[in-house]
Amino acid sequence: MRAVVQRAIDASVTVDGCAVGRIANGLIVYVGVALGDGPADADYLADKVVNLRIFPDESGRMNRSLVDRYGDDPDTGLLAISQFTLLADTRKGRRPSYNAAESPERAVVLFDRFVSEASRRVRVETGRFGEHMHVAYVNDGPVTILVDSRREF
């Protein structure tokens, strides 16, 4: 599984003009499920994301995780968005190939597992799997981190 993790403020996702998920501050996480991923990938990704030390401590150093901040601020959370395009292969031609992305039927199960595991530690809001979504947020920092359960980067 792959994730793009961004430290964010005022993040929301809408579907057909209706807000379906919102956090005041925390992390927005785009999640893509690859062929062959399993429950261990979802568990790894959830643990890694909520424990990434990318929030400032009292000295201004990025030394606190979302789990650390969650207890301090009830408006803090994680906004998880499913995004199969994270598995795009652009090495050949101009049209990305999505052959490395898992089928929607299997991907939704693993995305839901990621959400469930992360929800054990922090508040999680989501978009709607498989829907066309509009995502709005301010990238705080900016901080953007790539995470891959297969540790490809």
In CATH terms, the fold of domain 2-148 is D-tyrosyl-trna(Tyr) Deacylase; Chain: A; (3.50.80)
114 is known as an active-site residue: no
Cα angle: 148, vertex 152, 153; to 5 degrees: 75
In this predicted model, what pLDDT tens digit does every residue of 107-117 receive, in sequence order?
999 999 999 99
Say which of 6, 76, 83, 126 is annotated catalytic: 83
SS (H, E, C) 5-28: EEEEEEEEEEECCEEEEEEEEEEE
Domain ranges of the chain: 2-148
Q: What whole-number distance in Å separates Cα of residue 138 and Cα of residue 144?
A: 12
In this predicted model, what pLDDT tens digit does every residue of 71-113 receive, in sequence order?
667 789 999 999 999 999 999 999 999 999 999 999 999 999 9
76 is known as an active-site residue: no
6 is known as an active-site residue: no
